[in-house]
Structure 1
Amino acid sequence: MKKVPTLDIRRYDTDREAFVAELGAAYREFGFCCISGHGIPVEAVDGAYDAFKRFFALPDDTKRKYHIPGGGGARGYTPFKVETAKDSKFADLKEFWHIGREIPRDSKFADVMPPNVWPNEVPDFEDKGYGIYEALDNLGARVLRALALHIELPEAFFDDKIDSGNSILRPIHYPPIVQDDVPNVRAGAHEDINFITLLVGASAEGLEVLTREGEWLPITTEGDAIVVNIGDMLQRLTNHVYPSTTHRVTNPQNANARKPRYSVPFFLHPNPDVVLDVLPSCVTPDNPKRYPEPITAHEYLLERLREIKLI
C-alpha cells in the first residue's frame, strides 16, 4: 500500500539536493509529507496541548465569552458545529480556537489581522500557544525554502511573502461521539485554503488523504513527525505542480469514537497583499496556465471563508 513518506528536514543542511528532490516528489504525488528532525521540543508540543485541553474543558458559557460575533472566527473561540466543509450538508463535529500573528497595531495589515484574545481562565494559554505558533511558523518557512528550490526558484523566494502572513494556529477539539448514526464526520472532505498546513501531534487516528487513484489513505505519523500539506493558494501559485489534496477526519470505527480527539494545525498564509499569479516557471506546454486572473491572498481568503460558512 502507498504511504506518505517521512523525511528528516536536517538533511536540508547535510544532503540538500537529494532532500529537495525527495520532498518535491512527495508533494507532487500526495500533496502531503511528514517532516521529522524539526527540532521543536516535545515539551513545547505537550505543554500547548495541555493548555488547549484545559480551555476546551471549560463550561460552554465560559468558552462562548471568547466568541467574537461577526469576526468570521478569525480570533478566539468558534463553537461546536459551526464550520461546514465546502459543499457539505452537515457541519463538522468540532469546536476550535484561533491564534493569529502578533503585529504592531499601526501595521498596514492591522485592519485585516485583528489582535489576539486570550482566555483568562487558562493563564499559560498565551505563552504555550504563541510559543508553538512561532515554532511552526519558522518550520514552515524552512519547508517553503526547499519547495522553492524544487521548482527552480531562489531559496528565499517565499521569505518576504510570509513575514507578515495572516497565519493561524487552530487548536481543535472533536468531542466524543455518543451515538452511532451521526451523519456528520469530525471534519468533512476539504482542501486547505493557505500556502501550507503543519499539523503537530495529532492524538488519534482519523486523518485520511485522497490519493490520485481515488482511494482514502490513512496518515499516521512516527515519533515526533509533523504532517505538512499543500494548500490551495500554493496550488494556484504553482499551477498545480504542488497539488492541494482533499483530506478529511473520519469518525473512528472503534472505541476511540467515545474519546475526544485533539488536533493543532498551523495554517501558514502569505501576507494579505501577496498577489497569487501563476509562476511562469510552472507553466509548460503540458501544464498551460490554469488561472488567467490574479487575485490577492486576502481576497482569496474572504472568498473561501464564505464557502465554509465562517463569514
Structure 2
Amino acid sequence: MSQIPTLDIRRFDTDREAFVAELGAAYREWGFAGIRGHGIPQSLIDEAYDAFVRFFALPEETKRKYHVPGGGGARGYTPFGVETAKGAKHFDLKEFFHIGRELPEDSKYRDVMPPNVWPDEVPEFREKGLALYGALDALGARVLEALALHIGLPQDWFADKTDFGNSILRPIHYPPITADDIPNVRAGAHGDINFITLLVGASAAGLEVRSHAGEWVPFTADEDTIVVNIGDMLQRLTNHVYPSTIHRVVNPPGDEARKPRYSTPFFLHPNPDFLIDVLPSCVSEDNPSRYPEAITAHGYLEERLREIKLK
C-alpha cells in the first residue's frame, strides 16, 4: 500500500521548484500530506495542549457555561454528542472548543464572526490558544503559497483572500470508550469544509484516510509533523484538482480505547465574502467545470454547518 508523503517545508526556501512539484503531487493524489520543519516550537504545542486538557477536565456544568446557544458551535464549547458527520446515523464521540480570529473593532466581518469566549478557570487557555492559532495560520499561508504556484497562480494569490478568514482552532477531547458494542466512532467519515486543515499533535493513533481505491490508510504522524489536508472549499475552487479526501477517526482496539484522545485541528477558511468560483486554470477539456454557480465562503459554511447538525 502506498503511503501518504511527509515533506520538509524548509525546502520551499531552498529547493522551491522541486518542493512545489512534490507537494502538489501529494495533494493531487491524496488530498493529505505531512509537513515537518514547520518551526512551531514543541513547547508551544505542549503548553497549549496542557491548557486544553485542563479545560476538558472541568465539571460538565462548568464547561457548559462556555456553550453559546444558537451559535452553531462557532465559538466556545460544544458538548459531547452533538456533531454528526454528514449522512451519519450516529453522533461523533467527542466534545470540543472553538477559538476564532480576533477582529479589530471596526471589522466589516463582525456580524458573521462573533467574539471569542474564554474559560476563566484556565487562565493560560487564551494566551496559548491564540499563540497556537497564529502559528498555524502563518504555516497555512505558506502551504497555500506553494499550492498557488503549483496551479499557475502568483505565490501571494491567497494572501488577501484569507487575511481575515473565519478560521477556527478546535481543541478536541475524545473521552475514553467504556463499552465494546457501541455503533458510534470517534469521528465519522467526513470531508472538511474549509480551504486546508492543519492537525497538530494528535495524542494517539486513529486517523484514517480513504484512498482512491477505497482503502482506509492509517496516518499517524511523527511528533514533529503537522498533518495538512485539503477541504471542500479548496476542492471546489480548484475543480477537484486538489481533492478533499474523506477521513475518519476510528476507535482504537482493546485497552487503548479506555484512554482519552486529544487533537487540535486548525481549519483555515477564506474571508467570509470570498466568492468560491472555479479557477480558470483548473478547467480543461479533461476536467470541465463542475460548479457553474459561485457561492460565498460564508454561504457555503452555513450550508455545511446545517448538514453536520451544528446548526
Same fold flag (TM > 0.5): yes
The 2-side partners of 1:186 and 1:101 are apart by 27
Deviation at 1:255, TM superposition (A): 1.4
Which has the higher mean CA deviation after the structures are superposed, 210-219 or 221-230?
Answer: 221-230
CA contact (8 A) 2:210 2:217 kept: yes
Deviation at 1:254, TM superposition (A): 2.6
2:154 maps to what in 1?
154
In the alignment, is residue 111 of structure 1 matched against residue 111 of structure 2? yes
Give every structure 1 segment of 4 or more consecutive aligned residues whose post-TM-superposition deviation is greater than 3 Å. Answer: none
The 2-side partners of 1:160 and 1:73 are apart by 26
Superposed CA RMSD: 0.5
2:68 maps to what in 1?
68
Q: Deviations over 1:256-288 (max 9, x none)?
A: 100000000000000000000000000000000
In the alignment, is residue 79 of structure 1 matched against residue 89 of structure 2? no
1:237 maps to what in 2?
237
Deviation at 1:29, TM superposition (A): 0.4
In the alignment, is residue 30 of structure 1 matched against residue 30 of structure 2? yes
1:310 maps to what in 2?
310
The 2-side partners of 1:254 and 1:209 are apart by 22
SS in 2 for 1:129: helix
1:261 maps to what in 2?
261
2:17 maps to what in 1?
17
1:141 maps to what in 2?
141
The 2-side partners of 1:202 and 1:19 are apart by 25
The 2-side partners of 1:263 and 1:220 are apart by 12
Q: Deviations over 1:155-194 (max 9, x none)?
A: 0000000000000000000000000001000000000000
The 2-side partners of 1:200 and 1:2 are apart by 23
What letter is aligned with 1:68? V
The 2-side partners of 1:137 and 1:98 are apart by 15
Structure 2 portions without partners, runs of 5+? none
Deviation at 1:127, TM superposition (A): 0.3
1:181 maps to what in 2?
181
Give the TM-score taking structure 2 as reference length.
0.99
1:166 maps to what in 2?
166
1:50 maps to what in 2?
50
What letter is aligned with 1:132? L
1:132 maps to what in 2?
132
What letter is aligned with 2:146? A
In the alignment, is residue 96 of structure 1 matched against residue 123 of structure 2? no
Deviation at 1:105, TM superposition (A): 2.7
Percent identity between the two aligned chains: 76
SS in 2 for 1:193: coil
Which has the higher mean CA deviation after the structures are superposed, 231-240 or 105-114?
Answer: 105-114
The 2-side partners of 1:294 and 1:57 are apart by 43
SS in 1 for 2:309: coil
In the alignment, is residue 3 of structure 1 matched against residue 14 of structure 2? no
Superposed, which structure 2 residues align to 1:263-278 within 5 Å?
263-278=263-278
CA contact (8 A) 2:201 2:223 kept: no
SS in 2 for 1:267: strand
